[in-house]
A and B are shown apart, each in its own frame.
Chain A
Amino acid sequence: MSDADRPTETHADHEHHAAEGPGYATPQAAIEESDPEEVAYVMGLYVGTDVDAPDFLAVVDVDPDSETYTEIVDRVEMPNRGDELHHFGWNACSSSCHVEGLERRHLVVPGQRSSRIHIVDTKERRNPEIVRVIEPEEVFEYDLSAPHTVHCIPDGQIVISMLGNADGELPGGFLELNEEFGIDGRWDPPGEIEMNYDYWYQPRHNVMVSSEWAAPETYYPGFDLEDVEAGKYGRKLHFWNWEEGYVEQTIDLGEEGQIPLEVRFLHSPEAAHGYVGAALSSNVFHFFEEGGEWHAEKVIDIESREHEGWDFPVPGLVTDLLISMDDRYLFFSNWLHGDVRMYDISDPANPRLADRIRAGGYFGDPAPVGDRELAGGPQMLQLSLDGERLYWTTSLFSSWDNQFFPEEGERGSVMLKADVDPRKGTMSLDEEFLVDFGDLPEGPARAHEIRWPDGDCTSDVWQ
């Protein structure tokens, strides 16, 4: 554990005692006190293929001094097939700094399609094990399905965004787990929102923001433009009263904000700024509080590109974005175009393109790492706490992969890495780093979200 066990700053309504709970006292402490990541936990998938094996949690060796560097050193197989492991999270993060005895030790690993929720104990970092499984029927009892984003909340509990009701239709909501990983109930009053996807909270501003994908029955089978035209895909952000659990303000991002996916606040608990990537419109919005209200403005616009022989210009599809722990850089992926971008956000309202890497996708270099032919473009991102190593995987969602990059299922995903120079604002692809999910005994697997044992740039929240 990397508990922040020293007295630090004090401010008006929140005193950092000699913190007993898990995590780091501040984002800056996370940068200063953390060691470089040695293992990565990565979602590995066989769902939706003819490979007769369950999805798994991969333990990837990312320690350059290790003999098994860039290898999958362990796989925790799920007990069932068909889960579509997607996003996952820790039972505790830096927001739980006052909860005595709590450890950042258990991963909460939901199945997006199955609605099954697995609890994985990572006490042995290189050899984690499943210790509890919440079956779909238990989840359906709360009229929820399709678990997505997992965040611990400051009192030791866990909240999971749920994209549909028990039938995979709207509305979605939030499920709350207790410290023993049993279901506590619904976190939200049902019906506050229709669509749901990702969320992030900022306790010092008493706010949570949630985004919108679509009903599970809509996005599960694949992406159909007919559904966009019918208004079945989301384009709104919801700003919640965090303590009371209701929506105070909804912002419709309009045509330029279609399918707002990942939402990230700046890490500083003082900050009332964040970003959301609108996948289909391929824009990034900056949201911020001013005059007691939340506002959202488009700050980055990715132009669609003509593809030779295709009928329509192709959007970039901004599928993931993250903010460096020092709140200085924004990174995002254009899955279809095949590039990763790095923006300087020192002035949050005016991001400045610092650098980009092309890899895979429809327009990127098809073979940037050795002779491994890529399938898919850069997708889920994760950054080292010190901001110097950016990693990504290439699978989005099994049925959407099949539609846009059919080779992803045949060749499997890769995990790649870029070296980042935060001082100069540059990135370079590490051509020595390749984790090949196509080369596994059962067959090629997809790879999705990435997490570090000591917290990361997409899961830690500060009080």
Chain B
Amino acid sequence: MAVSHEVVLERSDRVETIDVPGTETVLDAAERAGIALPFGCLTGACATCVGRLLAGEVHHSRPPRALKDRHLEAGYVLLCIARPRAPCRIRVGADVQSGLVENPWK
């Protein structure tokens, strides 16, 4: 039996805490708790659901194809395929996605 972990979801305007069983993704657990997070492809290709891990550890159940090495090193995680392996604190919301790639001309 996979254990549940406490996951704190931080947004600019609020902080919410959910319990995520090891069998469930953070996105699914949040949805089940009535917390709407952005998402898109649900397969790890699009990064619409991207969050930033501030503390803890997650395991991606498929390769997180939307993230480059520099993103993974910076702590970005894909909540549609991420399952917690420890209590986590994760920055969530649409503005996390906006930080992934910069305007190359600016």
A binding-site residues for B, Cβ under 8 Å: 47-50, 52, 81-82, 84, 113-115, 136, 145, 164, 166-169, 216-217, 220-226, 307, 310-314, 398-399, 402-404, 406, 409
Contacts and interface: CB of A to CB of B under 8 A. Distances in A.
Given A145-B45, A311-B105, A403-B102, 8 more contacts: A47-B40, A82-B38, A82-B40, A114-B41, A168-B46, A220-B66, A222-B100, A399-B97
A313 B106 CA distance: 9
Which 3 pairs between the two chains have the least Cβ-Cβ distance? A168-B45, A113-B40, A222-B101
Contact of B41 (A113, A223, A226): A113
A409 B43 CA distance: 24
Contacts of A48: 38, 40, 48, 94, 97
5 contacts: A82-B40, A115-B41, A168-B43, A221-B66, A224-B101
Contact of A307 (B46, B68, B105): B105
Interface string B53-65: 0000000000001
Nearest to B64: A217
Given A84-B40, A169-B65, A313 B45 contact: no
Given A52-B36, A222-B101, A311-B106, A47 B48 contact: yes
A402 B94 CA distance: 9
Contacts of A225: 104
A216 B101 contact: no
Contacts of B65: 167-169, 217
The majority secondary structure among interface residues of chain B is loop
Contacts of A224: 68, 101, 104
A136 B42 contact: yes
Contacts of B94: 48-50, 402, 409
A312 B43 CA distance: 35
A216 B98 contact: no
B47 interface: yes
Interface in B77-106: 93-94, 97-98, 100-106
A164 B40 contact: no
B105 A221 contact: no
Nearest to A221: B47
Nearest to A115: B41
Question: Residue among A48, A52, A167 with the most chain B CB within 10 A?
Answer: A48
Given A49-B94, A52-B36, A217 B45 contact: yes
Given A49-B94, A310-B105, A168 B48 contact: no
A429 B40 CA distance: 35
B42 A82 contact: yes
Contacts of A47: 38, 40, 48
Contacts of B40: 47-48, 82, 84, 113-114, 220
A402 B48 contact: no
Contacts of B47: 220-222, 399
Interface of B: 11, 36, 38-48, 50, 65-68, 93-94, 97-98, 100-106
Nearest to A224: B101
A199 B102 CA distance: 30
Nearest to A398: B48
A52 B36 CA distance: 6
Nearest to B41: A113
A312 B48 contact: no
B1 to A, nearest CB: 28
A167 B105 contact: no
Given A48-B48, A82-B38, A115-B41, A404 B93 contact: no
A142 B17 CA distance: 39
A47 B48 CA distance: 8
A220 B64 CA distance: 13
A216 B46 contact: yes
Contacts of B50: 221
Contact of A402 (B36, B39, B98): B98
Nearest to A53: B36
A82 B27 CA distance: 12
Contacts of A50: 11, 36, 38, 93-94
B74 to A, nearest CB: 13
A167 B42 contact: no
A224 B103 CA distance: 8
Contacts of B66: 168, 217, 220-221
Contact of A313 (B68, B102, B105): B105
Given A47-B48, A220-B66, A312 B38 contact: no
Question: Residue among A220, A221, A404 with the most chain B CB within 10 A?
Answer: A221
B23 to A, nearest CB: 20
Contacts of A115: 41
A96 B46 CA distance: 36
Contacts of B36: 50, 52, 81
A250 to B, nearest CB: 26
Nearest to A307: B105
A399 B48 contact: yes
A307 B11 CA distance: 33
A47 B65 CA distance: 19
Contact of A82 (B39, B67, B101, B103): B39
A221 B104 contact: no
B16 to A, nearest CB: 13
